Amino acid sequence: MLELDHIAVLGRSLPEAVAHVEGALSLSMGPGGRHARYGTHNRLIGLAPGVYLEAIAIDPDAPAPPDARWFGLDRFDGSARLDKWIARVPDIDAAIAALPMAGRRVDLERDGLRWSMAVPEDGVLPFDGLFPALIQWHVATPPGQSLPASGLTLEQVVVAHPEAPALEALLAPHLNAPLVSFQTASRSGLSARLRGPDGSRQL
């Protein structure tokens, strides 16, 4: 079963991605780390209920990876924006067998965290990148539960796409993510509504 794990803002640089998040949410992001396997780096912020937000970009100081970077970052262009949603699964191999378009299994680790992800060969997820990236954590407490609380609650994630009904139907037998909804739109994109002590915020 797929459950919402986190959402990701991509940028041409990490400072751009972080600035987009901090400007929209009016708070500072916490630290993150580097992903040597894909030559990327990130910063994180915890959200209720048990999820988190990631700002991620290519690390200019890291060697280029041997193949395409995850999240389609090799092709990312334009302004920093909410661009990916990541779904947690209990068994990555079973999830890939059920949804082979998600990509191949890649095992990763960073700073005491261990996880597996499904990554397409070209790094680009189906449905213009709006198919969820699949992740299985191999730690007792995943970041969504261990990151400090920010005071923000994720209320809704909207996946907008011209073929949204087809994506929703494909995922429906496997998806248990009440915060995620699908919307038919002429342009594909991802948006999120969050709530904090001073009201609603939009990404």
**What confidence tens digit (pLDDT) does each residue in 108-138 have?**
998 889 999 999 999 999 999 999 999 999 9
CB 135 within 8 A of CB 89: yes
- Extents of the domains making up the chain: 3-150
Average pLDDT in the 174-197 region?
96
Query: Candidates 3.10.180.10, 3.40.640.10, 3.40.1190.20, 3.30.470.10; correct CATH number of 3-150?
Result: 3.10.180.10
Question: In angstroms, how far apart are the furthest CA atoms of the chain?
Answer: 45
Q: 3-class SS at 56?
A: strand
pLDDT in tens, 31-70: 999 999 999 999 999 999 999 999 999 999 999 999 999 9
Q: Is the pLDDT of residue 73 over 90?
A: yes
| Percentage above 70 pLDDT, the chain | 100
Q: Is the pLDDT of residue 169 over 90?
A: yes
pLDDT of residue 111: 86
In this prediction, residue 8 has a pLDDT band, given cuts at 50, 70 and 90, of very high
Q: Whose CA is closest to 83, among 203, 170, 186, 185? A: 203
